[in-house]
Amino acid sequence: MERPTAISAVSAVAGAQHDARRRARPAPPPPGTYVPRLPPLTQPAGAGPVAVAGTAELSPAARRCLREIIGLLDRATTLLREQADSPPATAAPSSPRRVAVELAVAGQDRAAVRRRLAAQFALADPGAVLDEVFGAGTRAHQRLPGAAPAT
């Protein structure tokens, strides 16, 4: 059996202290339940400038940062409330050309795209749009080269 050296004794003491500190720490909360410990607010939110308890010992620079953060949070809260109060934005209407391109790439032939454009956009003659997408002089049953097969 080897005789313990001073280094091994110090190492053993340090290891024991580390283990004791680790055991003394509370177990972390389960995932999804962690709530950070924040200093209590001295005023309710939205009641004007917010004072945080325990800020008397902060440096002037830290106080400025804290005031800036609180201001940013107030502005973000205001913007979120305005967005919640505003009606949802409507989707931009599709253009005949966009619909024609999407249908052509999906494998629809020129005649099927013509019918869809006439029905959806009430176009009397969608020929110019079809010529743009399929090419001038293409026949009614032609598809785009390399387009997905129609289902």
- Spell out the alpha helix ranges (H) of 44-126: 60-85, 96-105, 110-121
pTM of the model: 0.39
Cα dihedral 120, 123, 124, 129 in deg (nearest 10): -120
For the stretch 50-99, pLDDT in tens is 555 555 677 888 888 888 888 888 888 888 888 777 766 655 567 899 99
Length of the chain: 151
Distance between CA atoms of residues 150 and 107, nearest Å: 4
- The answer to whether 107 and 147 are in contact (CB under 8 A) is yes
DSSP string across 105-120: HTT--HHHHHHHHHHH
For the stretch 91-149, pLDDT in tens is 556 789 999 999 999 999 999 999 999 888 887 788 889 998 998 888 888 888 877 77
